Amino acid sequence: MAERDKILVRVEHLKKYFPITRGILFQKTIGYVRAVDDISFFIHRGETLGLVGESGCGKTTTGRTILQLYRPTAGKVYFDGVDLTQLKGEELRRMRRRMQIIFQDPYASLNPRMTVGDIIGEPLEVHGLAKGKAKRERVMELLKTVGLNPYFINRYPHEFSGGQRQRIGVARALAMNPDFIVCDEPISALDVSIQAQIINLLEELQEKFGLTYLFIAHDLAVVRHISDRVAVMYLGKIVELTDRDSLYNNPLHPYTQALLSAVPIPDPVVEERRKRIILTGDVPSPANPPPGCRFHTRCPVVMDICKEVEPEFIDVGGGHWVACHRVK
């Protein structure tokens, strides 16, 4: 079996519910926000899986629950064959060396009181891998790897631009030589001119170190560029999952079709011909999702069965998964 065909991350029926409480002294749970509600997928070693959807659909919660930053309400997360949901304490801590995250906001994710050397070197000290001169040399090596001057080691985050700060975040994620990185919208807070630089950096690092990415974003053009396969998420559910070319050339779910119709095409002739799909209404609350298909309240081709029966997430051929009653 080729290395690329091996599954590194497998998620099975993952759920993450956040309790809604009432009261000050004696808090009573009156409901749950179903941020992630029964999703399953896998990621091959060395692959980039894009996860797209509107804000608030559960993308970030999915990434953090895979890493066990949030403990799941139900379901399993297998990393290299090990069920992370069963690990605790030192066992989970050792496994976390192989999993890292790049956060969305480079301005909020770096401690302003710490130097760049301390920020990047902290994981090395926490896991007891390097101290003193060895730590300093490793930090300088990491800065060079992400395209920064290694002599910036004693500077503070406020002395850097947004793009440079995100490179520092990437260096911190690389410090432990991980196998898997969750990229949580790593370019959404950056200027467009800087976004391409960070995307190219991530691709170069993936090729150099054999990294596996879960790339969370809402920019479909960026996702098409960097991803091997793409999962589309809506209100806590994955509604479609396939390779990037199949998704963009033959989207099967109405929600995916609506998302893709909003992506501008740099050809005025094609842009004028194509039909925009405008979704009406607002996204329902994850605390009280609609019965049946979650998308039926906004779907332009809704049927009666959609309002009552939840569609199965099935493979319609060639690894193209979709959850829609209209697709058989």
- 252 shares a domain with 214: no
- Report how far residue 169's alpha carbon sits from residue 322's, in angstroms, rounded to the nearest whole number: 34
Cβ atoms 14, 86 nearer than 8 A = no
Cα 33 to the center of its chain, rounded Å = 19
- 182 shares a domain with 77: yes
- 167 shares a domain with 55: yes
- 135 shares a domain with 14: yes
- 294 shares a domain with 152: no
Domain stop point among 201, 227, 253: 227
Domain of residue 100, residue span: 3-227
- 83 shares a domain with 192: yes
- 267 shares a domain with 124: no
What is the per-residue DSSP string for 28-64?
EEEEEEEEEEEEEEEEETT-EEEEE-STTSSHHHHHH
- 197 shares a domain with 54: yes
Domain stop point among 227, 254, 289: 227
186: phi then psi, degrees, rounded to nearest 5:
-70, -10
Residue 114 within any structural domain of the chain: yes
- 202 shares a domain with 67: yes
- 250 shares a domain with 219: no
Residue 79 within any structural domain of the chain: yes
Q: Report in angstroms the alpha-carbon separations of 179 from 46, 182, 209, 211, 229.
A: 8, 10, 8, 5, 18
- 215 shares a domain with 181: yes
Residue 131 within any structural domain of the chain: yes
Other CB atoms within 10 A of residue 225 CB: 14
- Report how far residue 258's alpha carbon sits from residue 214's, in angstroms, rounded to the nearest whole number: 23
- 172 shares a domain with 89: yes
pLDDT, tens digit only, all 328 positions of the chain: 455 669 999 999 999 999 999 887 788 888 999 999 999 999 999 999 999 998 888 999 999 999 999 999 999 999 999 999 999 888 998 898 899 999 988 888 899 999 999 999 988 888 878 788 888 999 999 999 999 999 999 999 999 988 899 999 999 999 989 999 999 998 887 888 888 888 999 999 999 999 999 999 988 888 888 999 999 999 999 999 999 999 998 999 999 999 888 776 666 666 566 677 778 878 889 999 999 999 999 998 999 999 999 999 999 988 999 999 998 7
Q: Which of 247, 108, 124, 116 is nearest to 184 (CA)?
A: 108
